[in-house]
Structure 1
């Protein structure tokens, strides 16, 4: 199975496209030493959010983003034209360094196959949960969970804020969803629609006019890892205040149901 689903009875759906570390053996054999490190994983993202909102639905990709990136446009269009980024089937890591052995990068036919075998099933499962939750509550709030190293010069300048919130410049969700997400973040560094404005998941599903609200949360990994380097150890003490803030966000979103529906 390329994904896992935990259905809940509430209005919030947690999507986790980049927490998986599964890599088919045939693909793993083609990665170089840099690629085999899997450094661009959203490390421990499921553990970080575990138990924060009873009733939340969770949809997780179990495959690694080096197989295919479940948060990229399946047609291969860049989400950030003119900026450094990684592709649908990445050929480099976040530092711009190759992850495949020479001559082992995927071609067009293989990318199409990976799209069918991995990307499409994950999004079919996510879309099914969005429709189920919307049918139950009259709306759905899709919260896309991400994390990343705090400093990656290839992708952005300087130190990333702890909270990077993306709504594709205000198009993917209601303003009350934005406010409920931003308010608990005020005591820590944060930005709205900065370097990360929301990936394909947020942009594809976010249709507030149809009562489907999508928002992306990109967390700086310094806020919950012992170090932003292998072995990528989860730090329970460091994560505790972050989990408290995330819990406030998710409970605030779940409480918005009636207000959003009647905007």
Structure 2
């Protein structure tokens, strides 16, 4: 196990690598430059590390960063190119929240030199850890599943219309994973009766698109969960008073059970 102040890597034996890129809340000493610390943490993938803490029992390897996505988003193209051309999204070092609110105080946004330094300090080591785990697992498994964990508020009009399905599975339009694996996961989601979509608004970020190479034995899935599936999501606009809501293990239990079925199924598929 690698455990630094901001990067944690757990080495497992199963053909499963779990990436947790957006649960970090550390602001790297930038609190005074952000409009507010709460705003800088608002778009965190809250409690995902708790929701998925069963993965160690599956023998999964896990890579997780404690650095907030507002400092640097390790699931964005490092070149700065948009993953969703023509659609609103946030960048490598975001300057706005998902809701379009300014993240930095006037004149405090990072310039290109600072963005490059942040990339070297946090983005590159995170991806070096992912690649090292993929390489290690591929020496003992013919197929490896890379599963990228995410969540997002159910309604964000600036990013998408209406209410997001609870389960949003992305495989880069089928390019990052074998169709049989995608179909296996789709069947598990469909059996729940809970709303789901495959390659809808969220098709997979940089991690899914960059590492998903079925022809090389690496099959990448992104799961974007609507927060209402496992959290008490406020009906009104989020604020420091109501967001994030506390993690409620009993409320999250049904979706957690489905996610465990998904990952058990993915491991079985990789081994067989």
How do 1:196-215 and structure 2 match up within 5 A? 196-215=202-221
How do 1:35-46 and structure 2 match up within 5 A? 36-46=39-49
Q: Which runs of 5+ in 2 are unaligned?
A: none
* Structure 1, 222-231 or 98-107: larger mean CA deviation: 222-231
Q: Which runs of 5+ in 1 are unaligned?
A: none
Residues 109-144 of structure 1 show CA distances to partners (whole Å, capped at 9, x for unaligned) of 000000000000001001100111111112211000
Q: What is the aligned length?
A: 258
* Whole-Å separation in 2 of the counterparts to 1:183 and 1:232: 31
* Whole-Å separation in 2 of the counterparts to 1:35 and 1:47: 20
How do 1:1-263 and structure 2 match up within 5 A? 1=4, 2-25=6-29, 27-33=30-36, 36-52=39-55, 53-186=57-190, 187-228=193-234, 229=238, 230-259=243-272
* Structure 1, 158-167 or 47-56: larger mean CA deviation: 47-56
* Whole-Å separation in 1 of the counterparts to 2:244 and 2:20: 21
TM-score norm. by structure 1 comes to: 0.95
Q: Cα offset for 1:37?
A: 5.0
* Whole-Å separation in 2 of the counterparts to 1:164 and 1:185: 10
* Whole-Å separation in 1 of the counterparts to 2:50 and 2:38: 24
Q: Cα offset for 1:163?
A: 0.4
TM-score norm. by structure 2 comes to: 0.92
* Structure 1, 227-236 or 176-185: larger mean CA deviation: 227-236
Q: Is the 8 A contact 1:8 1:57 kept in 2?
A: yes
* Whole-Å separation in 2 of the counterparts to 1:258 and 1:38: 38
Q: Is the 8 A contact 2:143 2:271 kept in 1?
A: no
* Whole-Å separation in 2 of the counterparts to 1:125 and 1:232: 31
